[in-house]
Chain A
Amino acid sequence: MNKQTKSEGRKDAPSFQDLILRLERFWADQGCIILQPYDMEVGAATFHPATTLRSLGPNPWRAAYVQPSRRPKDGRYGENPNRLQHYYQFQVIMKPSPADIQDLYLESLFAIGIDRNNHDIRFVEDDWESPTLGAWGLGWEVWCDGMEVSQFTYFQQVGGFDSDPVSGELTYGLERLAMYVQSVDNVYDLNFNGGEGENKVTYGDVFLQAEQEYSRYNFGHADTAKLLEHFRDAEGECQALLTKGEAGERHLMVLPAYDQAIKASHIFNLLDARGVISVTERQAYILRVRDLTKACCAAWLKTDAGGAANG
């Protein structure tokens, strides 16, 4: 008696790319600058300097961007309908968090075609913490009919520094959201471009091969000896740049140093996926990355964008 929803989807729903365009339009109208993805491998959109670093210091900041996110361990060779080692997050960061940020967020959901009269949207407690960023915040996971579609966080600390003012961070899981609005059960069936028949391009057309190839790489072929070396290199380079950039009350090379911290973090994730990091070592690696990001955050506060006083 159970009706199996065919993975064909709703015809009137926005395509994957349309979803992104609508979100960008919506948040541009709220005064966010629309950035492009950061050109490095990151585990989450929060790592983008536009969030990690810009959320620090007194200067107001509003930005939105798509960020491809890499989680090597989550690869499933393209065989799992909703687990990917590479997926997209749509990120909104607003500092200070406006009083109506919850309403704005809800409006954004309506803007991408979620009918406010027929869907159950809920804010369910979920505190956020990133050990590698030395960051935490309070907020919710947002449910739409029982499906988690976004993470909503008020940053309280980043890089070990109190957030003052507080940034509001919204992270939409784009694939999930698209699967929801298009009513498809398998991520690879998502309509990417909105085309019909021959013109239709699916998410699978774009990414299935990549998922298969990267799963092989992540789990079987990434050269762990070289990666360990790369980790140490990135760590060393980050520390060296932080030292070289010191200029009294000022710092002159935070962003290049932070790139190295991001690199170390991603290499750690790869090593973790390869299963060469034991449980006890794991904690030590996380702390090493955290030391790097914390030092970068401290240096950021000595720059103009970080709000350091001129002098």
Chain B
Amino acid sequence: MAELLLELFSEEIPARMQVRARADLARLLGEKLKAAGLDFGEIKTFATPRRLTIVVDGVPGRSPDIKDERKGPRVGAPEQALAGFLKSSGLSSVDQAEIREDKKGSFYVALIEKPGRAAADVIAEIVPEIIKTFPWPKSMRWGSGRLRWVRPLHSILCLLDGKVVDFEIEGIKSGKETKGHRFMAPKSFAVKSFNDYAAKLKDAFVILDGDERAAKIAKAARELADKQGLALVEDEALLAENAGLAEWPVVLMGEFDEDFLSVPPEVLTTSMKSHQKCFSVTEGNALTNRFVLVANLEAKDGGKAITAGNERVIRARLADAKFFFDQDRKTSLEDRVTELKDITFHEKLGSQYERMNRVRNLAREIALLVKADPDLAERAAILAKADLVTLMVGEFPDLQGVMGRYYALDQQENPAVADAIAAHYKPQGPADEVPTDPVAIAVALADKLDTLTGFWAIDEKPTGSKDPFALRRAALGVIRIILENELRMALRDVLWRSLGAHVIGGVPPDRDETNILSDLIGFFADRLKVYLRDQGARHDLVDAVFALGGDDLLMIVRRVEALGRFLDAEDGEHLLAGTKRAMNILRIEEKKDGRAFDQAPDPALLELPEEKALAKAVDEVEQAAAKAILDEDFEAAMERMAMLRAPVDDFFDKVTVNADDPKLRENRLRLLNRIRATTQAVADFSKIAG
């Protein structure tokens, strides 16, 4: 068993493409080895800015011989049939075929033997195929060649069991040599095996493993900060990017003028990160005037020149940011609102200005439902998008909302208004927190609901994996804001009002508004199901509760939770079985008779004690459950339901529903209908699985 080592050495591979390239290389090589009959053990992949490497353990020296038999025509078959057989089995005459006998006589059999091939020969074929068809997100040509790679490919190291696997692609011959760090060890060297390769690379200032580079950066950065009593602002994405930009990461700390600390910390962090890929540093809880940079060189002067250079760039960047911050504050947010007329939100949904007008009205109405001051909610909604036309947000779009809050505070807006401007975009993902202040809740809900009703009105709904306007995220945001803040809200009413604003505002829905609304409610139901499933709830229970037609999300969830607990207990399990049995019988008999059995059972026709007990229990439970539901005590409602279990079980044990006497039969079917109706108070049991 041998080790296969392959290194594709190129000019700098974009950091963001390295992880996927490793996975693609492992997948493609693995598939092709298997397809060629070559088994293997473990695959490991690595990427640095200049190389993509794979090592495969346990590759056999040869692929196995393959023996195959092909049944041919009968002996004495027509010439044509024989010729076809010879051609398809690769024989030159029938003498090479074996003759076998069966009940009907003798026939030809071709024995085809495919000898195994040397692994090196197979690899010499499949590696060029992989290189030529590699799925880079973007690839290029260079010089006069035809080959495509992410950036010019310079050399290929390919060893099987320490020996070079010979092949050539576009003038690049495979070999056993590679190079070290671009500046610190540029000379070529030969390697014998993966261990030899990794060790020699390390001597040549290349850490092959990206995780190891990231760990080295994180450790050194923390230590540098620690030494000064400071703390690093951790950032996984930034760490990964830096690990993809250096073969030999060296961590240094620089500083900038304390004056810049007057600029909001989010601005400083974003500027240093997005432009310079530098980490921020805090002292206590506040940002301090230091930054951590990652270089790709162990400099002779210990990094003095590199630090000084980066400090100058950071200074210029922060000076720009400070300039934006100072300039932006010269114009009030209120004065910027009219500029929103020039920003198109969506060609069919008008400008951000028109949108603002819809959202401010909706925010007022929602404010009343969530006990927020309607004036503050409206004010926040008016100003919420004004920062989109500031210099700062133009430069750093990620800072939308955050800057609006700073500018609002600067202009003496009510703090609740300022906070709402920042928080109204929340939650921006499943991990993000939801707004909790009532004013922010009102604006956040209004903003998201306006988006949803707007896109529903123009029929731009998410399909499959396509959701260009992030409508699923908006709906999930609404759900989380309502549930996590325990808000009571008739969603249908609120959506209706929001949709009305689009109609009045000139977006004529091309379909009936009622249909749009039920479709959107259905979308919310689906999102809620996904959300609850992620929380561990059963989606069939959500269906069972949704089928009752409610639109108060909080109550729906409470019911689902209570129902889940009920069904997990023995009483619930039995009652579900009994109810389903009742429903099945009803379905069949209703069909047979072509009518419903929805009148009250006649007490005079109740013969057996089990019938009488059930009729009594159903009446009692119905009343008690209805009261519990009125009190929104779903646990209690379920407890009442549980009291049905024994009478239902006994009824089915002792009573024949389809009695010979048609009167008795009808009365018993009416009784079954009562079971169905009573359980409807908590859920539609027919939607529940099991």
Contacts of B11 in A (CB 8 A): 102, 123
Interface size on A, residues (CB 8 A): 42
Shortest CB-to-CB span from B540 to chain A, Å, is: 48
Contacts of B319 in A (CB 8 A): 81
The reply to whether the CB of A147 lies closer than 8 angstroms to some CB of chain B is yes
Contact check, B301 vs A120: say whether CB atoms are below 8 A apart.
no
The reply to whether the CB of A137 lies closer than 8 angstroms to some CB of chain B is yes
Instruction: For B143, give its contact among A1, A156, A166 (CB under 8 Å).
Output: A166
Residues on B close to A: CB < 8 A?
11-12, 14-16, 49, 138, 140-144, 150-152, 154, 183, 245-246, 255-258, 276, 278, 289, 293, 295-297, 299-301, 304-306, 308-310, 312-316, 319, 342
Contact check, B143 vs A5: say whether CB atoms are below 8 A apart.
no
Contact check, B306 vs A120: say whether CB atoms are below 8 A apart.
yes
Residue among A1, A99, A125, A279 having the largest count of chain B Cβ atoms under 10 Å: A125
Of the 9-residue stretches A110-118, A205-213, A220-228, A249-257, which lies at the interface with chain B?
A110-118
A-B contacts besides A81-B316, A99-B154, A127-B138, 12 pairs, CB < 8 Å = A98-B143, A99-B152, A117-B300, A120-B299, A125-B12, A125-B16, A138-B140, A146-B278, A146-B293, A147-B312, A154-B152, A279-B342
Q: In the complex, what residue of chain A is closest to B154 when comparing beta carbons?
A: A99
Contact check, B295 vs A120: say whether CB atoms are below 8 A apart.
yes
Instruction: For B300, give its contact among A5, A118, A145, A166 (CB under 8 Å).
Output: A118
Query: How does the 8 Å CB contact mask read for A7-28 relative to B, with 1 for contact and 0 for none?
Result: 0000000000000000000000
The reply to whether the CB of A52 lies closer than 8 angstroms to some CB of chain B is no
The reply to whether the CB of A283 lies closer than 8 angstroms to some CB of chain B is no
Given known contacts A154-B140, A165-B143, A166-B143, is B257 in contact with A118 (CB within 8 Å)?
Answer: no
Contact check, B255 vs A2: say whether CB atoms are below 8 A apart.
yes
Contact check, B143 vs A99: say whether CB atoms are below 8 A apart.
yes
Contact check, B152 vs A145: say whether CB atoms are below 8 A apart.
no
Instruction: For B297, give its contact among A81, A97, A120 (CB under 8 Å).
Output: A120
Given known contacts A2-B256, A125-B14, is B306 in contact with A118 (CB within 8 Å)?
Answer: yes
Contact check, B300 vs A180: say whether CB atoms are below 8 A apart.
no
The reply to whether the CB of A244 lies closer than 8 angstroms to some CB of chain B is no
The reply to whether the CB of A173 lies closer than 8 angstroms to some CB of chain B is no
Closest 6 CB pairs of A and B: A145-B309, A125-B14, A123-B12, A120-B295, A146-B310, A165-B144
With A and B bound together, what is the CA distance between A99 and B315 in angstroms?
37
Contact check, B143 vs A146: say whether CB atoms are below 8 A apart.
no
Given known contacts A102-B11, A146-B310, A147-B309, is B140 in contact with A185 (CB within 8 Å)?
Answer: no
Contact check, B313 vs A146: say whether CB atoms are below 8 A apart.
yes
With A and B bound together, what is the CA distance between A185 and B255 in angstroms?
16
Contacts of B183 in A (CB 8 A): 116-117, 121
Residue among A81, A121, A123, A185 having the largest count of chain B Cβ atoms under 10 Å: A123
Shortest CB-to-CB span from A62 to chain B, Å, is: 13
With A and B bound together, what is the CA distance between A99 and B14 in angstroms?
19
Q: In the complex, what residue of chain B is closest to A126 when comparing beta carbons?
A: B14
With A and B bound together, what is the CA distance between A95 and B143 in angstroms?
7
Shortest CB-to-CB span from A147 to chain B, Å, is: 5
Contacts of B304 in A (CB 8 A): 118
Contact check, A1 vs B299: say whether CB atoms are below 8 A apart.
no
Instruction: For B141, give its contact among A4, A102, A156, A180 (CB under 8 Å).
Output: A156
Contacts of B300 in A (CB 8 A): 117-118
13 contacts between A and B (CB under 8 A): A96-B143, A118-B301, A118-B304, A118-B305, A118-B306, A119-B306, A125-B15, A140-B12, A144-B309, A145-B295, A154-B151, A185-B315, A185-B316
Shortest CB-to-CB span from A90 to chain B, Å, is: 20
With A and B bound together, what is the CA distance between A34 and B337 in angstroms?
53
Contact check, A5 vs B309: say whether CB atoms are below 8 A apart.
no
Contact check, A2 vs B289: say whether CB atoms are below 8 A apart.
yes
Contact check, A122 vs B289: say whether CB atoms are below 8 A apart.
no
With A and B bound together, what is the CA distance between A134 and B182 in angstroms?
34
Residue among B143, B151, B310, B342 having the largest count of chain A Cβ atoms under 10 Å: B143
The reply to whether the CB of A276 lies closer than 8 angstroms to some CB of chain B is no
